[in-house]
C-alpha cells in the first residue's frame, strides 16, 4: 500500500461504497481507452498495512469530521483537538499514534470508526493518483495484497471513484511526508 500515506478498506471491500460495480457491457467513452477498461480486481484481505506501518495522511472534510465526532460522542471542536492535525493548504488529517498507526486503528479490531471512515479510506485503491497508469497501480499493489485479487470492479466505477477519491489529488512526495512527520511530534 501506499508507502507514505494511508487509506483503507479494512474490514470490508470498497465495492460496497463505490456503488454498483457490475461490469457493464456498455462503457462510456471516457473509459473505453483507459488502461483498466476491462476492470480491476480488488478485495481487501484485512492485512492492516494501510492503517499503520508508516507515517500517513488521512484527509478529512468538515462534513466527515462532524460525522466522526458524532460517532465518538464528542463535540466537533473537541474532536478536532484530539483526533486531527493540520496539513498544508488548510487541509486536515486524522492524527496517528506514536507507532504510526492511524489513531482509529486497533490491531484486534481493525478500523474502529469503520462506518464513518473518510472518503479517502473508502475509495482506495481507486485513487486518481493510483489508477493514472498501470505502472502506478503495480507499484501500490506491492504493498496492498488486496489489489489484483478478488472482486472485479468495472471501469465505470473505477473512473467515477477516482474522480472523487477524497485525497485532493494527493500524491506522496517527500515534502508532504515531512509535513506529516513534523505534525506528529
Whose Cβ is closer to ligand SF4: residue 36's or residue 104's? 104
Contact at 8 Å (CB) between 141 and 134?
A: no
131-148 residues labelled b (16+ CB within 10 A) or e (exposed): beeeeebeebbeebebbe
Whose Cβ is closer to ligand SF4: residue 111's or residue 180's? 111
Whose Cβ is closer to ligand SF4: residue 65's or residue 111's? 111
Whose Cβ is closer to ligand SF4: residue 144's or residue 158's? 144
Distance (Å, rounded) from C-alpha 57 to C-alpha 109? 20
Contact at 8 Å (CB) between 53 and 2?
A: no
Whose Cβ is closer to ligand SF4: residue 28's or residue 62's? 62
CB of 159 to ligand SF4, least distance (A): 20
CB of 5 to ligand SF4, least distance (A): 10
User: What are the residues binding ligand SF4 (CB under 6 A)?
Assistant: 1, 6, 8-10, 44-51, 58, 94, 102, 104-105, 111, 113, 117, 121, 124, 144-146
Q: Which residue has the cell 460517532?
A: 71
CB of 11 to ligand SF4, least distance (A): 8
CB of 122 to ligand SF4, least distance (A): 8
Contact at 8 Å (CB) between 69 and 53?
A: no
Q: Any alpha helices (H) in the chain, and if so which ranges?
A: 15-18, 29-32, 62-71, 76-83, 119-123, 128-131, 134-141, 155-163, 174-182
CB of 41 to ligand SF4, least distance (A): 12
CB of 169 to ligand SF4, least distance (A): 18
Contact at 8 Å (CB) between 137 and 39?
A: no
Whose Cβ is closer to ligand SF4: residue 128's or residue 146's? 146
Amino acid at each position: 500500500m501506499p508507502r507514505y500515506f494511508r487509506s483503507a478498506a479494512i474490514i470490508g471491500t470498497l465495492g460496497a461504497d463505490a456503488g454498483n460495480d457490475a461490469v457493464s457491457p456498455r462503457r462510456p467513452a471516457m473509459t473505453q481507452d483507459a488502461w483498466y477498461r476491462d476492470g480491476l480486481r480488488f478485495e481487501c484481505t484485512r492485512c492492516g498495512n494501510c492503517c499503520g506501518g508508516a507515517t500517513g495522511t488521512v484527509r478529512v472534510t468538515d462534513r466527515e469530521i462532524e460525522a466522526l465526532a458524532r460517532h465518538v460522542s464528542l463535540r466537533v471542536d473537541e474532536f478536532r483537538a484530539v483526533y486531527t492535525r493540520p496539513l498544508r493548504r488548510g487541509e486536515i488529517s486524522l492524527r496517528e499514534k506514536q507507532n504510526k498507526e492511524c489513531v482509529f486503528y486497533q490491531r484486534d479490531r481493525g478500523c474502529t470508526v469503520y462506518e464513518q471512515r473518510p472518503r479517502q479510506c473508502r475509495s482506495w485503491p481507486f485513487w486518481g493518483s493510483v489508477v493514472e497508469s498501470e505502472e502506478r497501480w503495480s507499484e501500490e499493489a506491492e504493498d496492498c495484497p488486496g489489489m489484483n485479487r478478488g472482486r472485479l470492479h468495472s471501469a465505470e466505477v473505477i473512473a467515477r471513484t477516482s474522480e472523487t477519491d477524497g485525497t485532493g489529488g494527493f500524491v506522496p512526495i517527500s515534502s508532504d511526508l515531512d509535513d506529516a512527520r513534523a505534525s506528529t511530534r
